[in-house]
Amino acid sequence: MNDVNLSTLLDDMFNRSISMAIQDSNSRDSFSVASAKSFKKRSTNQAIFLTISSHRFRLFVVIDLSQKDCSEFVRLATQSKTDTMTEQEFYDYMFEFGNGLCGIFKREIGKATPALGMSTPNLLSRESVNLMTSYSIDKKAHYQISLNESILFYCSFYYLPSSNQEVLVSLVEEDTSDTGELELF
């Protein structure tokens, strides 16, 4: 099996991870995930940050959101009958969504490289995204999540290898012959 540069796999892995996290949280409504050049035009002042790390690289996962724009996503996902929710309820749900998204992304990357760590979600000022430019970012990607043409929030990743060397990985093929179903005796 040939080794592949990890950075070339990250876009597809992250896009799949976002779609799976949305599907896990809400399979009833039709959200769209589309590539976005950036989210600098957003007027939010906060973002949720998570990290995935190994001894060879770090990945920052950022969910850029505002409660005003994203509350419909949370309301639909929680099947809330009311239009109002507290700020705590909103962020609790979005932190769990971030955990799910990052966990799925970690599992995808874990197929190629073992021994990964993952942080808990942190709510930081939107200005923290600007600090990313002080790092040597090898790759980044931004995706917008929409419902009925309205952008609800953005998800991004920033990939930082620990050295200037490429991180080469071998993909492990999943064994689909065993479905893992329990046998009843």
- The predicted-structure confidence for 98-118, as pLDDT tens digits, reads as follows 999 999 999 999 888 888 999
Number of folded domains in the chain?
1
Find the farthest-apart pair of alpha carbons in the chain and give their distance in angstroms, rounded: 60
Domain that residue 15 falls in: 4-39+50-163
- Residue 37 buriedness (CB in 10 A; 0-12 / 13-18 / 19+): exposed
Q: Mean pLDDT throughout 84-92?
A: 91
The Cα 124–Cα 62 span in angstroms is 10
The Cα 168–Cα 183 span in angstroms is 39
In a domain, 23, yes or no: yes
Q: What residues contact 119, with CB distance under 8 A and at least 6 apart?
A: 49, 50, 51, 52, 53, 102
In a domain, 132, yes or no: yes
CATH number at residue 97: 3.40.1550.10
In a domain, 182, yes or no: no
In a domain, 18, yes or no: yes
In a domain, 173, yes or no: no
pTM of the model: 0.85
In a domain, 68, yes or no: yes
In a domain, 22, yes or no: yes
In a domain, 174, yes or no: no
